[in-house]
Amino acid sequence: MEKQMKLSPNEIKECQTLISELENSGWEIVGAYWVKYAQANVPPEKQGKLNITAVGFSMRMRDAYRSSLANAIRKAGLKLISAYDIRISGDDEFHSGIFHLEEKKELTLLNNVYFTSTFLSELYILKCVESESTYKHPPRQKITLFKYFESQKFKEDFLSGNIWLGTLRGYGVIENENQGDKLEGVTRYKTAESFDKDGWLDFSKKNPSMGGIIKFNGPFDGTIYIEDPTVNIPNAYTLCFSKVRNDELFKKDFGEFCVKIHDVEKLFAMITLSLYKIDPSIAKNPMGHLSVDYSKETLTSLDSEHFSAFHKPRRYEWQTEYRFVWNTDLSHQIKPFLLNSSKLLSPEIIEDLA
């Protein structure tokens, strides 16, 4: 059965006793922490364990370390924790991530912490000190963003972790041309080109997304003629922000209520984990967050790759948009909806500005 937090006082005392016993036997321990991952796909051997970071540990030395661990547990007469509850690792990026947490505090239960692509719903630090890895892997640089809302209610929803997720197709039908874009997710070509079957098959290998528009179910010896095609990328979940705050500029089209995002990576991870519970297919599809590239235009050659969800025409450049995108197997049926991410929300990452 998965070990659940919160640790009891007696369990904490036994963990501290074990750490002392191991250090007395020669272990160089730089970190010890009980963790519970928020990710659903974490292997059982990592979930709900006491992680001990020992300098010098390697997989080649694993058996020796496990034997030493078992001896220490027996010698200390521990009753509440066993070797099964403990995972040993070397001085690595995981330890560095915990060390550099701004909210790091020993002997205190921490909730919803994020570092090095890791989201822990619960973390209890027994020991965490400087080491070689903490110098090798410096703190991550946080990105800040701003989001505007048309009503106080929408802003309060966001602040409480209820996130309104849009879709590419949804933005395409918004009447306000500054909010929406009828060509969202669409690439237009202005060209006329012809191919025989072999030429088309060769072209399809070089440009699979374009090549997929024509399939052969049998023999074909004619000519394929294509003029001014349009390519639609699959619909995807989308969330948009601005990289700058400008209340006067955004008030008319996006609203007067504003929040500041202090940690974009953590917010993206929080939403991703919450969305995964509703649509697990996002895990096997591309996802990401980037600044929007305002180079989208009509293309004049079929050899040109179509634009992604992170491209928009230059006329939208004033928005300085930053975008979250999650692709899904359900692209043909998804619609905008309110996603509850409140269980993973850390209030300090979103600041109410106005």
pLDDT (average), residues 70-81: 94
pLDDT of residue 345: 94
For residue 227, name the pLDDT band (cuts at 50, 70, 90): confident
pTM to 2 decimal places:
0.87
Query: Amino acid identity, residue 252?
Result: K
pLDDT (average), residues 112-129: 94
pLDDT of residue 303: 81
| Sign of the alpha-carbon dihedral angle for 39, 45, 48, 52 | negative
Checking if the pLDDT of 354 tops 80, the result is: no
The string of pLDDT tens digits covering residues 38-59 is 987 788 778 888 999 999 999 9
The string of pLDDT tens digits covering residues 259-306 is 999 999 999 999 999 999 999 999 999 999 999 999 999 888 888 888
SS3 6: coil
pLDDT of residue 1: 34
Q: Where are the alpha helices (DSSP H) in 40-185?
A: 62-76, 93-99, 132-136, 152-159, 168-172
Relative to beta strand 311-313, strand 350-352 is: unpaired
Q: Which residues contact 351 (CB under 8 A, 6 or more apart)?
A: 259, 260, 262
The string of pLDDT tens digits covering residues 182-206 is 778 888 889 888 888 888 888 888 7
Q: Choose the weakest-confidence range: 133-147, 152-166, 200-214, 312-326.
A: 200-214
pLDDT of residue 174: 59
Q: Choose the weakest-confidence range: 176-185, 216-225, 274-283, 309-318.
A: 176-185
